[in-house]
Amino acid sequence: MISGRAVTSGRVGARTAVVLVRPVAGRRRGPFGGTMHGVINNGIATIFVADLDRSVAFYTEILGLRLGYQADGHWASVFAGGFEIGLHPAGRGGPPPGAAGAVTVGLSVDDPIDVVVRTLQARGVPFRGSIVDDGPVKLAFFADPDGNELYLAEQPAARTE
């Protein structure tokens, strides 16, 4: 149902900047002129959570992601296609769970976004507002049990219109 795309975010004043990271084949220009080989070929978003078991259940049972690894209450990796999400219990020195804008994760959908939204709503996921048709992409915004911001994205290549 859901496949992943790595997403990074950052606060700029009152706005959140979101950047989709797409794999680039072959060589690309480095920051100092030469060429770079694909030293980074995948990514992970780490999310600090209040209750690891509750979060693992949300990401696997509700969203349908695959549990890859769980380390005795210290870490869990879940996968949306090739996109890895690391779940880490919050602790001293780390950010508090659900801090606004701390983490944003975008999940690409294979099915029409309205179908996916209805499916997740039936599983108890509340969405913020309605589906946003932003021209080249349709978006639907929601949060995990700790308030970490998530969104679904239906991109033109995935649309069946």
CA 53 to chain CA centroid, Å, is 18
Which of the two residues, 30 and 125, has the higher pLDDT score? Answer: 125
Where does the pLDDT of residue 149 fall: very low under 50, low under 70, confident under 90, or very high at 90 and above?
confident
Instruction: Tell me the DSSP string of 13-36.
Output: TTEEEEEEE----S-EE-TTSSEE
Domains of the chain: 2-19+42-158 (3.10.180.10)
Q: What is the pLDDT of residue 9?
A: 40
- In this prediction the pTM is 0.58
Q: Which of helix, strand or coil describes residue 11?
A: strand
Q: What is the pLDDT of residues 96-130, one digit of tens each?
A: 888 765 676 888 888 899 999 999 999 999 999 99
